[in-house]
Structure 1
């Protein structure tokens, strides 16, 4: 386990211990978010959300405010939909997923800069 993941787990535990989570836990949402991360493609990523496509249905997931309000579905179905949080492990999995996407964008940007410098 990476040091970052250990620190993330400590933050999740502290949020749980002090009752800082904004959304209640729901196992079904946790299972569905794991499915989205593992099986579905990303169709959009903004500053605060990442949107997955589940067979054409767009599911927007909150990716900011680690880990206070992290990993809940955003505007799922209707506007007044219930919002739940995933488990600690799934939050860390989502964090690693988002971080790896960002690292790929950074690597691509650096590669393009290097090509420009060589010209």
Structure 2
């Protein structure tokens, strides 16, 4: 029966791994294994899985906190009415996108006017 870490043929090889006596040197030498893997207990495997999951959760939490901090900073840069509740994430992004596109449109219009005056 195989384990999730080692393929079944490796485990079988480990069970059949007997010392080999070489004819020239008369020293006991073990056969080389194809893979470097140890048998791990189910408790060790479960512990490793929990640790990996905890690390992934911490990375995701840090990512979301950074995203929320960036959105909060963006809200401070956008015009808002003091009595209204805080804008949602999507509202913040849409307002910022609208302001940016208007600035780009006005910059392009100004550029065309200047270009036409030169020509």
**TM-score between the two structures when normalised by the length of structure 2:** 0.37
Higher helix share: 2
User: Greater RCO between the two (CA within 8 Å, min separation 6)?
Assistant: 1
